[in-house]
């Protein structure tokens, strides 16, 4: 009993030192950041105690002083240690995962989920992990459910989908036991008020979320931290990555490649160098679109209709441009094309040939999903157009 008491006292003292440093705006050592993040993540997963105050104090303190590379690297180690298992994919080419931090200044349509399906249809291995709506109207898992995809498939089923059709859309909570409790905590009124101020929490997840344990990624951020995130990804062993911040008119920022303004990209290359540059819509042969045309719809079913419209080739608007531009970034990161423009042309061709819709249908079936959901979205689209 004395040993347990001493251990508890030691943990409290270590936490006190962490928060004392943050209160003075002092940077933490990687081991200190890892320790505090692990306490919070384990507390979320176990539900043994309420971690809301710890979470707000820790990530709030980091946000106020701006998290360092060492702190983000330490927190990435904490996230990696919480994984329940690891996937093993049978693939003859590089695999790429894609996602964003959320936190856009406007709510956009779902982009990455249809983008990975389109990229897979063009021949790349493209994987998406997701969650229920957190900062958006429709989360990736909500969208996938509407389209009939089983986001809670077993590990064997996920591996089979990737082997057979080069893609999957799967819920992160399957490998991170703290993910679902974090989303539920974020909906609590007392915490929801503070969440927009905890960008360091988004940064931790952005730099460390890797449920598929693969080493290539397209990661969107909604604040100007592209080089920082790319550097942490390098520290975590990634071999190739694009970290992107999209812009629109005025102060509009989105966590993906933009076709309504410029995109700032930090590219991690296989030799370890990081290049930061700007991509504009005209660089891939696009006109700059209007931000109003890519705003999220008010319901899950309407957002599913948008995604299906693009994947079926029936939507030829700026929504198609936005989703397929981001699909092109995945194809480029997979080394399947030499330029982003080549990737865009390739994915447009595959969509127009019906390959993306076919991949979606196969993913629904292979994941053990509900084909009736997809059929319902298709019917609702047709009735809307009549």
What number does CATH give the domain 1-82+180-210?
Answer: 1.20.970.10
pLDDT digits (tens, 9 = 90+) for 132-184: 765 556 788 899 999 999 999 999 999 999 999 999 999 999 999 999 999 88
- Give pLDDT, residue 385: 59
Which residue is it, tokens 């390098």? 234
pTM of the model: 0.92
Domain ranges of the chain: 1-82+180-210, 95-176+211-366
In the DSSP assignment, the letter for residue 108 is B
State both tokens at 189. Answer: 């009124």
CA 230 to chain centre: 14
Please give the mean pLDDT across all residues of the chain.
Answer: 92
- Give pLDDT, residue 61: 95
- Give pLDDT, residue 190: 82
Q: Which fold has domain 95-176+211-366?
A: Pyrimidine Nucleoside Phosphorylase; Chain A, domain 2 (3.40.1030)
CA-CA distance, 110 to 254, in Å (whole number)? 11
Instruction: Decide: 118 and 327 in contact? Cβ < 8 Å.
Output: yes
Helix extents (H) in 82-197? 112-121, 140-147, 155-165, 179-186, 189-192
Query: Residue 313's CB: how many other CB atoms inside 10 A?
Result: 17
Long-range contacts of 345-352, Cβ-Cβ distance < 8 Å, separation of 24 or more = 345/285, 346/122, 346/123, 347/118, 347/119, 347/121, 347/122, 348/324, 349/122, 350/118, 350/121, 350/122, 350/123, 351/118, 351/121, 351/310, 351/311, 351/313, 351/320, 351/324, 352/313
CA-CA distance, 149 to 371, in Å (whole number)? 8
Instruction: Decide: 80 and 313 in contact? Cβ < 8 Å.
Output: no
Element (H, E) at 264: strand 263-268
Provide the residue count of the chain. 386
- Give pLDDT, residue 134: 57
Show pLDDT as tens, one digit a residue, over the chain (386 residues).
454 556 677 888 899 999 999 999 999 999 999 999 999 999 999 988 889 999 999 999 999 999 999 999 999 999 999 999 999 999 999 999 999 877 788 889 999 999 999 999 999 999 999 877 655 567 888 999 999 999 999 999 999 999 999 999 999 999 999 999 998 898 888 888 888 788 899 889 888 999 999 999 999 999 899 999 999 999 999 999 999 999 998 789 999 999 999 999 999 999 999 999 999 999 999 999 999 999 999 899 999 999 999 999 999 999 999 999 999 999 999 999 999 999 999 999 999 999 999 999 999 999 999 999 999 999 988 776 54
């Amino acid at each position: 009993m004395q040993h347990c008491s001493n251990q508890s006292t030691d943990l409290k003292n270590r936490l006190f030192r962490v928060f004392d440093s943050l209160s003075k705006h002092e940077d933490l050592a990687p081991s200190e950041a890892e320790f505090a993040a692990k306490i919070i993540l384990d507390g979320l997963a176990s539900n043994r105690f309420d971690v809301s105050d710890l979470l707000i104090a820790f990530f709030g303190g980091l946000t106020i002083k701006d998290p360092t590379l060492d702190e983000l690297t330490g927190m990435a180690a904490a996230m990696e240690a919480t994984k329940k298992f690891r996937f093993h994919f049978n693939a003859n080419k590089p695999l790429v995962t894609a996602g964003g931090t959320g936190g856009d200044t406007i709510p956009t349509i779902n982009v990455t989920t249809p983008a990975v399906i389109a990229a897979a249809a063009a021949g790349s291995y493209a994987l998406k992990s997701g969650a229920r709506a957190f900062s958006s109207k429709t989360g990736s898992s909500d969208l996938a459910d509407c389209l009939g995809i089983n986001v809670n498939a077993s590990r064997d089923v996920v591996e089979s989908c990737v082997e057979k059709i080069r893609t999957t859309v799967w819920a992160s909570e399957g490998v991170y036991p703290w993910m679902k409790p974090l989303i539920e905590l974020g909906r609590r009124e007392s915490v929801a008020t503070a969440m927009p101020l905890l960008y360091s929490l988004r940064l931790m997840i952005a730099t460390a979320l890797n449920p598929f344990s693969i080493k290539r990624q397209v990661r969107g951020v909604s604040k100007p931290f592209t080089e920082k995130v790319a550097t942490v990804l390098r520290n975590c062993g990634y071999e190739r990555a694009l970290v992107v911040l999209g812009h629109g008119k005025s102060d509009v920022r989105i966590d993906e490649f933009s076709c309504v303004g410029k995109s700032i990209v930090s590219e991690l290359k296989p030799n370890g160098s990081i290049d930061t540059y700007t991509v504009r819509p005209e660089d891939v042969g696009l006109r700059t679109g209007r931000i109003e045309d890519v705003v999220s719809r008010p319901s899950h079913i309407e957002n599913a209709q948008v995604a299906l419209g693009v994947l079926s080739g029936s939507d030829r608007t700026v929504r198609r441009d936005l989703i397929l531009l981001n699909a092109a970034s995945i194809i480029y990161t997979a080394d399947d094309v030499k330029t982003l423009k080549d990737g865009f042309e390739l994915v447009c061709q595959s969509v127009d040939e019906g390959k993306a819709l076919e991949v979606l249908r196969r993913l629904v079936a292979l994941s053990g999903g509900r084909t009736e959901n997809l059929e319902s979205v298709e019917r609702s689209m047709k009735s809307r157009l009549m």
